[in-house]
Amino acid sequence: MPPIPLIELLPANAFAAFLIFSRLGAALMMLPGFGELYVPQRYRLLLALMMAGLLMPVIAPLLPPLPASASQLAVIVLGEVVIGLFIGTVARIMVATLETAGMIVSLQTGLSAATMFNPLSDQQSSPLPAAFLGMLGVVVIFLTDLDHLLLRAVVDSYALFTPGVLPPLGDLSETISRLVAGTFRLAIEISAPFLVLGIVFFAALGVVARMVPQLMVLFIAQPLQIMGGLLVFAVVLVTGMRWFLEAFVQQMGFLVGS
């Protein structure tokens, strides 16, 4: 078999690498931990290029041939970018569950006025529980090696979404909408003890105010509310994070077939 000329070999390899980079780069811009604002863009770009080079020998046989026109190339690249953004968005919405739960916790514990800079969402005035739970979720993902699951989901997505074919946008949007509804339910479940605490606390506060009108309830309500909220937070934190990790693995598992 005669050797393939280099002038014919280079365009095919460059096309395969660029196509793989399109999906990987779009996913890494959104994945928790990898796509955070405090991670320099050059590092994310370098990681995507390195992964594209490593995966090219494995994924290249699955890729479509080099298109004949620029319009066909644009459609193929757009499809790969959409798939990468979809995978990253799924993981990002799962992490946002903890921030939603933190918002509910802050309202029920009287900590909604205690704000701080949230590096995940680049917000200057994020409630303290929401920022803490959001950062804790990213830390726990990397501590439990679930970041490997994220990268594996990107790689195994080539078996779920055929390269070179425009993904079903209707199915992707429906999946995102169902995921948002499911993560909101999960946030309510994680913060359920604080909802119960708030109802019981304010009901008891109303009874005390009626029984002892001369007592200045407002002076003792907020310290007791914060102390009780922190106590409940310390008790249920481990269980809440376990629920989150189980839901995270289950949601990302459909991309890796597990």
Instruction: Note the pLDDT tens digit of each residue in 107-161.
Output: 888 777 766 666 666 666 678 888 888 888 888 999 988 888 888 888 888 888 8
What's the rounded Cα separation, in Å, for the pair 105 and 60?
48
What is the number of domains present in the chain?
1
Q: Does 112 reside within a domain?
A: yes
All residues at 6 or more sequence positions from 65 whose CB lies less than 8 Å from its CB, including other chains? none
pTM: 0.82
Q: Given this model, what pLDDT does residue 257 score?
A: 57
Using CA atoms, how far residue 105 sits from 62, 133, 137, 226, 244, in Å, is 47, 10, 15, 11, 15
Residue 10: pLDDT band (50, 70, 90) is very low
**pLDDT average, residue stretch 192-199:** 86
Identity at 221, one-letter amino acid code:
A
Q: Does 100 reside within a domain?
A: yes
Q: Does 60 reside within a domain?
A: yes
Q: Does 118 reside within a domain?
A: yes
Take residue 132 and report the two structure tokens written for it. 């803490």
Residue located via tokens 């604002």: 37
Q: Does 1 reside within a domain?
A: no
All residues at 6 or more sequence positions from 214 whose CB lies less than 8 Å from its CB, including other chains? none
Q: Does 66 reside within a domain?
A: yes
Identity at 3, one-letter amino acid code:
P
All residues at 6 or more sequence positions from 64 whose CB lies less than 8 Å from its CB, including other chains? 76, 163, 164
What's the rounded Cα separation, in Å, for the pair 51 and 21?
8
**Domain region containing 147:** 6-256
